[in-house]
Structure 1
Amino acid sequence: MLLSIPTLLLVAIFIFSLMGLLTLHAWSRGAREQTLGYLASTLLLAAFGVTLVSLRGIAPDTIALVLGNVVLLLGATMNWTAMRVFGGRAPHLPGILAAPLLWALWGLTPGYYDNLGLRVTVYSLLTAIYGGLSAFELWRNRKRLEVSYLPALVLLVMHSGFYTVRIVADHGISLEHALAGTGRGTRFFSFLLFESMLYAIGIAYVTLAMVRERAELKFKAAAYSDPLTGIGNRRAFLSGGKQLLAECSRRGEPVALLLCDLDHFKRLNDAYGHQTGDQALIAFGQVASQRIRQQDVFGRIGGEEFACLLANTDEHAALLVAQRICSSFHELPLLAPGLLSVSIGIANSTGDEHDLARLLSRADHALYAAKDQGRNRVQVYRAVVTAPETTSPATTTPPAPAA
C-alpha cells in the first residue's frame, strides 16, 4: 500500500527543514565549520524547492516548474560544495551556478513546458552528476581526511546511482496525477520522495559525525603538540615512547634514547631576550627532526630539554645521530656561528630491557656528565664504569661567547 503523495510531500518538506535547521544550529554553535554551513543550505534549499514544486496549479508554472527546480539544483551543487570544502578545497562558484543557470535559461525557451520526460531526464542527469562529484571529492581527499568517510561516500554513491537509474526508469508523472495517486509513475515518485528523505537524514548525520571526528583529532593533536616548536610535547613523547618500546621489545630490537639539553639557555635568554631563546628552541627542534627517522619518537619534554627515542638502533648508530645533531646545532648562524650548543646523554636498552623510565634516568646521568665535562658534547651512559665514555662532535670544549 502506497502512502499518500501529499502526505509524503509534507513529510519531506518537514524533514528537509528540520535537518537543515539542526545542521545550521550545529554550524552556529561550533567553530563555524563551513562544511556544515553549506550542508545546511543544501537541506533548506531542498525544503524550499519541494515547496515551490508542490505549488503546481496554484502558483504560475514559472515558479513551480522553473524556479522550484532551479532551487533544488542549487541545493545539489551546495551538497557538492560541502564535500569539496570538507576535503580542503575552496568553493567553485562556476560549478555552483552551472546547473541552476542552465535550468533557468532552458526554462525561458518555448519548448520547456512541452516535454515532461525530457525535464525528468535532464534533472536526474544533473543531480546524478553532482552526486558523483560529491563522492569524488571525498575519494580524492581520502588520505588527508583522517576520518571515517566511507559511510558518507557510500551514501553519496547510492544517491547518485538512484538518479542514474531514474534517467532510464522514470519518464515522469505530472504533479496532478501524482497527487491523485493515479498514473504509471506514481510508485516511482513515492519512492523518490522516500529516498530523498532518507538521504537528507543520512547525509546530515554522517557529515556531522565526520566534522566532529575531525575536530576531536585537532584537539587531540593540540594536546599532544608543543605550541612553540610544533613537535610532540612531554605527553606525546611518553605515550609514543611506550608504544615504540613495546613494539621493539616484541621484535627483540635495540632502542636508544637521546636526552638533549641546550647549553647556557638561561644566559641566552638574559643576554638576547626570550624571543631569541624561542628561536633557538625552534631551530633545535628542526635540526633534530631532520636527523631522525619517521618511526622514531621526538619531543620537547621540558623547557630547553628534548628527547629522541630511536627504534632498532644500537649504541654506535645512536652516537652518530647524536653527533650530527650536536654539530649541526653548534654551527647554526642564528646568532653567531658557534654560539649555540647542546649537550646530549645517550642510554641504550640492554638485553630484553625496554623500560622508558629507566632509559630516561640513565640518559639523564649521562647528560649531567656531559655538562660537567664542558658541555657541547655527547655522553654515553656506562653502567660498569665510573666515568662514562666521552665523545665530542666538533670540539671538546664549548665555544667562546661572541665578543
Structure 2
Amino acid sequence: MRWRQGPRMLAAAGAHGSSLDIPTLLIVAVSLATLLGLFLILAWAQQREVRALAWWGSAYLIGASSMAMWNTSTPALDMPRAVPEALTFLACGMIWSGVRLFHGRRITPLGTCGGALGWLIVNLFTALQVGSVTRIALATSVVAAYTFVIAFELWRERRKSMFSRFAAFVVPSLHAAIFLMPIGIRALLPAFAPAWITLLALEAIIYGVGTAFIVLLMVKDHHVHIYRHAATTDALTGLLNRRAFMEHARDLCAVRGRRREPVTLLMFDLDKFKSINDTYGHGVGDDVLRIFGQIAGSSMRATDIVARLGGEEFAAILPGDMEVAHKVAERVRTNFEVAGKVVGEYAIGGTVSIGAATSHAAVTDVDALINRADEALYKAKRNGRNRVEAADDLPAPESADLEERGKIAYFPIRKRAARRTQAATA
C-alpha cells in the first residue's frame, strides 16, 4: 500500500547510504564553522564594545575544532571520544554566555562550562559505549538544553519588539526540538537512524549558518536601538527630549480623546536656577538638573510621560484629571525639595514651581495645552514659587470648539521663558 512506501524509502536510504555521508558533511561543517567564527571575530575587532561577538566567534571556532577531531584519522591527534564532544558542549555554553553578555546579564562560569565538565566526569566514571542509545540520548539532551536556555534568554527580550528577536527565539527552539528526535528514532525505529542522522547533520549546518546571520542582525538592531535612544533622550537627565515628548504627547492625547477621557499637562521650572548657576557654577547646575530628572522620573507613574524641554524647563503629560495630576505634581515638588537641599557640598535649597492644565475634550493642539499649563506656572512664580498652581479649567464643549477653530494662541517657548524671567526678577 502507498502508506508503506515512505518507511521503505527511508530504510533504503539508511541501508544504501547517500552521497552526503557523515565524513563529507563534517568537512563541510568544519569549514563553514571556521569561516563564520573568523567572520564574527573580525566583526568584534571592528566593534569592540559588543564583546558578545568575541564569545560567539570563539564558540564557532571551538565547535569547528571539535568536529575536526571527530573526523580525524591521524593517530597523533587521536583522543578519547569524550573530548570533542565536551568541546561541542563548551561551544554551546559560550553561545549562551554570549547571549547573556549581549543583553547585559551576568555570565556564570559554571553555566558556560558545566555541560562539558559534566560530560567528562560521566565518561570518566561510566562506560558509555560509542553509538549507544544512552550516549546519544545524553549528548543530544545536553545540546538541546543549552539551545532551549538560549531561546529563553532571547524570549526575555521580546518586549523590545525588534524583528530579529522573533527569529532568534524561534530558530533555537526548533533546533533544540529537532535535536531531541534521534533519541526516539534510535530507540523505536533503528532502521531509519542512519538516514535521520544524515538529515540531522544537514540541519545542524543550516542552523549554524542561519544563527550567525541572526547574531549579526541582533547587533545591527542593537545599534539602531542605541541611536534611536540617543535621538529621543536628553543626554544630561536621561529623560525624553522635547521632540520625543511632543510625539508621545500627541499619541496619548489621541488615545484619551477617542475614549473621551481627560488628560493633564504639567510644566516644571526650577526656582532661581540662574542664581544657582551664577553662584555655584554650571557643574553644580547640571547636578541639580540631573537630580530633578531622577526625582521626576521616579515620582511619576508608569503611564506618565516626562521630558526635559530645555534649560531648567521640564514637562509631563498624564492620563487623568486635575485631582490625579495635582497629587503627582505635589509628590514631585516635595521629593525635589528634600533632594535639592544639599547638592554635593553646597546647600542649594533647590525647589520647583509647577503649573498644571487639564483638557476634558479631545486635544488636537498640544502646544495650546502647554500654553495653558505655562500660564499656571507663571502664576506659581508670582505667588512665591515652590508650589503647584492649576490653570482655569475650560468647559469641555468650549475647549473643543476653540481647539477645532485654532483660537487658542500659541506662545513660543522663548517668550514664555522671558516672561518667567521677568517674574523671577520682579
Cα distance change of structure 1 residues 109 and 342 upon mapping to structure 2, 3 Å threshold: closer
Q: Answer yes or no: is the 8 Å Cα contact 2:253–2:263 preserved in 1.
A: yes
TM-score (norm 1): 0.79
Who is 2:313 aligned against? 305
Q: Corresponding residue for 2:410?
A: none
Which of 37, 40, 64 matches 1:20? 37
Distance 2:34 2:326 in 1: 65
Q: Structure 1 stretch 79-88 or stretch 217-226: which is displaced more?
A: 79-88
Equivalent of 1:236 in 244, 250, 254: 244
The residue that corresponds to 1:8 in the other structure is 25
User: How far is 1:132 from its partner?
Assistant: 3.0
TM-score, normalised to structure 2's length? 0.75
Equivalent residues of 1:260, 1:307 under 8 A apart: yes
- Check whether the contact 1:297–1:310 (CA below 8 A) recurs between aligned residues: yes
DSSP-derived class of the 1:306 partner: strand
Instruction: Choose which of 251, 256, 260 in structure 1 pairs with 2:259.
Output: 251
Range moving further from structure 2, 231-240 or 344-353: 344-353
- Kept in 1: contact 2:356–2:388 (CA 8 A): yes
Instruction: Tell me how far 1:86 sits from its aligned partner.
Output: 3.8
Equivalents in 1 of 2:115, 2:324: separation in Å? 62
Please tell me whether the aligned partners of residues 248 and 312 of structure 1 are also in contact (alpha carbons under 8 angstroms): no
AA at the equivalent of 1:187:
A
1-structure distance, mates of 2:234, 2:336 = 20
* Aligned residue identity for 1:154: V
Q: Name the counterpart of 2:131.
A: 116
Change in CA separation of 1:340 and 1:166 when aligned onto 2, cut-off 3 Å = same
| Percent of aligned pairs sharing the same letter | 33
**Greater Cα shift, 84-93 or 354-363:** 84-93
- The residue that corresponds to 1:44 in the other structure is 61
Relative distance call for 1:230 and 1:50 in structure 2 (3 A) is same
CA 1:55–1:383 in structure 2 vs 1: closer, same or farther (change >3 Å)? closer
Question: Per-residue deviation at 1:349?
Answer: 2.4
C-alpha distance in 2, partners of 1:292/1:240? 15
Shift of 1:297: 1.4
CA gap of 1:49–1:329, structure 2 versus 1, over 3 A, is closer
Aligned counterpart in structure 2 of residue 358 of structure 1, from 348, 357, 368: 368
Structure 2 residue aligned with 1:345: 355
User: Separation in 1 of the partners of 2:348 and 2:68?
Assistant: 74
User: Which structure has greater helix proportion?
Assistant: 2
Structure 2 contact 359–393 (Cα < 8 Å) conserved:
no
**CA deviation after TM superposition for structure 1 residue 80, in Å:** 2.7
Identify the residue that residue 386 of structure 2 maps to in structure 1: 376
Change (3 A) 1:12 1:265: same
Query: Number of aligned pairs?
Result: 371
Task: Tell me if the contact between 2:357 and 2:393 (Cα under 8 Å) persists in the aligned partners.
Answer: no
Which structure 2 residues correspond to residues 152-163 of structure 1 after superposition, within 5 A? Answer: 152-163=168-179
- Work out whether 1:213 is the aligned partner of 2:213: no
Q: Map 1:240-279 onto structure 2 (within 5 A).
A: 240-279=248-287
Name the SS of the counterpart of 1:116 in structure 2. Answer: coil
Residue matched to 1:151: 167
* 1:394 aligned residue: none
Instruction: Choose from 89, 100, 112 the match for 2:105.
Output: 89
Q: Conserved in 2, the CA contact under 8 Å of 1:53 and 1:64? A: no
Change (3 A) 1:29 1:3: farther
Please, what is the CA RMSD of the aligned residues? 3.3
Distance change in 2, residues 1:272/1:69 (3 Å): same
SS in 2 for 1:149: helix
Partners of 2:154 and 2:352 in 1: how far apart? 46
Pick closer, same or farther for the CA change 1:163–1:302 going to 2, 3 Å: same
- Whether the aligned pair in 2 keeps the contact of 1:27 and 1:37 (CA below 8 Å) is yes
Deviates further, 328-337 or 77-86 = 328-337
Deviations 1:28-79 (A, max 9, x none): 22244233222222222222222221113x3357337344323223222223
- 1:150-189 matches, within 5 Å, as 150-170=166-186, 185-189=193-197
Please report how far the alpha carbon of residue 276 of structure 1 lies from its aligned counterpart in structure 2 after TM superposition: 2.5
In structure 1, distance between residues paired with 2:118 and 2:363: 70
Q: Is the CA contact (8 Å cut-off) linking 1:330 and 1:337 kept in structure 2?
A: no
Gaps of 5+ in 1: 172-182, 385-397
- What's the offset of the Cα at 1:185? 4.7
AA in 1 matched with 2:109: L
SS in 1 for 2:314: strand
Cα distance, 1:371–1:329 mapped onto 2, change above 3 Å: same
2:144 maps to 1:128: yes
Query: Whole-Å Cα distance in 1 between the matches of residues 228 and 286 of structure 2?
Result: 24
- Name the SS of the counterpart of 1:259 in structure 2: strand
- The 8 Å contact of residues 276 and 348 in structure 2, kept in 1 or not, is answered as no
Secondary structure of the equivalent of 2:169? helix
Residues 162 and 291 of structure 1, relative CA distance in 2, 3 Å threshold: closer
**Per-residue displacement from partner, 1:260-288 (whole Å, max 9, x unpaired)?**
21122111111122233223223323333
Report the CA distance shift for 1:313/1:150 in structure 2 as closer, same or farther (over 3 A).
same
- Aligned residue identity for 1:229: T
CA distance in structure 2 between the aligned counterparts of 1:341 and 1:107, rounded to whole angstroms: 69
Which has the larger displacement, 62-71 or 5-14? 62-71
Cα distance 1:59–1:296, how it changes in 2: closer, same or farther (>3 A)?
Answer: same
